[in-house]
């Protein structure tokens, strides 16, 4: 057991992207010391909070799996702050389309799969001979990684299966007592995890949709590659083991409802039009309901014209609903385009029913 400490980085340093100054804060000095001692530390990234440890040390990485309760066959992403940290992780050079994508999207929420180097312990990659790598853009993440000058293996800093953490408080709620330190860097901007891609001969296979959208990738690489989102049947194979587990789920049962359905009819058909139900609705749908017909609680997720806002707040909506103790959460689907693809991917994995 740890007496978990939460140390905040000033908002102004984050807003100014002051990586060098952040690296000199007590929070980062302490975090770096823990990492060098093979402990794990939670820190903010632009996607979600990560639970980091030295990716090259088996003993350290094992502690990540233990703190989260993560299945040992679900590999981790290695986070770097500088391209010169790549050779220790991967076999061979980076060239071609991988290089193009890195030049365009790093630092940022794009994770690429490479053949792994012999130096990587098996535990980090869950026995695969490939390794997932990304360079986050959050100044706190970059400050910590460059301070220790080591690649950090870092999955999301939640208990395995729960909604990912986008605030330090979310990490605390899940991991209090299980880790020594949470570096608080405020709210994560993107709110859903990185896009994980694998490059095949003529195909960019999106194993997990995320912060970098399919159209952003297509725009960079043009017609030379087909960009496709791997379907769940494919990712059930060992390719991306993480995708086979239940994920992102609140404790409260979550149903997704299709926006074409008439809400008030659904609520009465399923006998859930009561105050134990929370309905999370878009602005647009909210304008179309007569609130007098609805006894369930309503939460506005924002407009479907701002999918970035919905992505940023998604996990917080789910965690808040859990805290309020509803029996059921009903959430409206969002358009399956741009970052909405990542939102729908998370919701479908979290939901017990789609109606």
Residues that bind ligand AMP (CB under 6 A): 74-77, 113, 125, 128, 130-132, 155-156, 193, 196, 207-208, 239-243
Whether residue 170 contacts residue 316, with contact meaning beta carbons closer than 8 Å, is answered with yes
Q: How far is the CA of 268 from the CAs of 265, 293, 295, 353, in angstroms?
A: 5, 10, 10, 17
Number of residues located near Mg ion, criterion CB under 5 A: 1
Q: What CA–CA distance (Å, rounded) separates 21 from 285?
A: 45
Which listed range, 7-15, 81-89, 150-158, 177-185, lies at the site for Mg ion (CB under 5 A)? Answer: 150-158
Residue-wise over 153-176: b if at least 16 C-beta within 10 A, else e? bbbbbbbbbbbbbbbbebbbbbbe
Q: Which does 63 bind (CB under 5 to 8 A by kind): ligand AMP, Mg ion, none?
A: none
Beta strands in the chain (DSSP E): 5-8, 41-43, 50-54, 77-79, 110-115, 130-134, 152-153, 181-184, 195-199, 203-208, 226-229, 254-257, 277-282, 297-302, 328-332, 353-354
Least Cβ distance, residue 306 to ligand AMP (angstroms)? 24
Least Cβ distance, residue 336 to ligand AMP (angstroms)? 19
Least Cβ distance, residue 74 to ligand AMP (angstroms)? 6
Cβ proximity to ligand AMP: between 114 and 326 the closer is: 114
Q: What CA–CA distance (Å, rounded) separates 257 from 329?
A: 10
Cβ proximity to ligand AMP: between 239 and 299 the closer is: 239
| Residue at shortest CB range from ligand AMP | 242
Cβ proximity to Mg ion: between 47 and 285 the closer is: 47
Least Cβ distance, residue 47 to ligand AMP (angstroms)? 8
| Residue at shortest CB range from Mg ion | 156
Mark 152-171 with x for binding to Mg ion (rule: CB under 5 A) and - for no binding: ----x---------------
Least Cβ distance, residue 231 to ligand AMP (angstroms)? 15
Cβ proximity to ligand AMP: between 120 and 267 the closer is: 120
Beta bridge partners of 206: 197, 229
Q: Which does 240 bind (CB under 5 to 8 A by kind): Mg ion, ligand AMP, none?
A: ligand AMP
Q: How far is the CA of 177 from the CAs of 3, 5, 132, 174, 182, in angstroms?
A: 6, 9, 29, 9, 11
Least Cβ distance, residue 342 to Mg ion (angstroms)? 13
Greatest alpha-carbon span in the chain: 64
Q: What CA–CA distance (Å, rounded) separates 203 from 212?
A: 17
Cβ proximity to ligand AMP: between 137 and 285 the closer is: 137
Which residues of this chain interact with Mg ion, rule CB under 5 A? 156
């Amino acid at each position: 057991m740890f007496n978990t400490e939460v140390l905040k980085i000033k908002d102004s340093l984050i807003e100014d992207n002051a990586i060098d100054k952040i690296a000199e804060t007590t929070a980062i000095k302490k975090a770096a010391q823990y990492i060098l001692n093979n402990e794990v530390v939670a820190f903010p990234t632009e996607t979600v909070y990560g639970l980091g440890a030295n990716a090259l040390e088996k003993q350290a990485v094992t502690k990540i799996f233990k703190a989260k309760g993560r299945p040992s066959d679900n590999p981790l992403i290695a986070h770097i702050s500088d391209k010169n940290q790549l050779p220790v992780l991967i076999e061979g050079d980076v060239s071609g389309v991988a290089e193009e994508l890195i030049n365009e999207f790093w630092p940022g929420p794009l994770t690429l799969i490479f053949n792994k180097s012999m130096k990587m312990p098996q535990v980090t990659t869950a026995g695969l001979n490939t390794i997932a790598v990304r360079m986050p853009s959050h100044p706190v993440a970059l400050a910590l990684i460059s301070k220790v000058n080591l690649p950090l293996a870092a999955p999301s800093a939640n208990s395995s299966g729960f909604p990912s953490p986008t605030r330090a408080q979310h990490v605390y709620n899940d991991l209090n007592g299980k880790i020594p330190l949470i570096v608080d860097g405020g709210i994560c901007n993107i709110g859903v995890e990185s896009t994980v891609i694998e490059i095949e001969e003529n195909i960019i296979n999106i194993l997990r949709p995320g912060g970098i959208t399919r159209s952003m990738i297509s725009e960079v690489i043009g017609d030379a590659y087909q960009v496709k989102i791997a379907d769940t049947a494919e990712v059930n194979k060992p390719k991306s083991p993480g995708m086979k587990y239940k994920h992102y789920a609140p404790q409260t049962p979550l149903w997704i409802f299709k926006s074409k359905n008439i809400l008030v009819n659904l609520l009465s058909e399923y006998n859930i039009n009561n105050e134990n139900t929370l309905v999370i609705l878009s602005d647009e749908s909210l304008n179309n309901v007569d609130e007098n017909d609805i006894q369930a609680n309503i939460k506005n997720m924002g407009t479907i014209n701002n999918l970035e806002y919905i992505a940023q707040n998604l996990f917080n909506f789910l965690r808040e609903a859990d805290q309020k103790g509803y029996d059921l959460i009903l959430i409206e689907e969002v358009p399956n385009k741009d970052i909405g693809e990542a939102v729908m991917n998370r919701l479908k994995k979290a939901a017990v029913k789609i109606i």
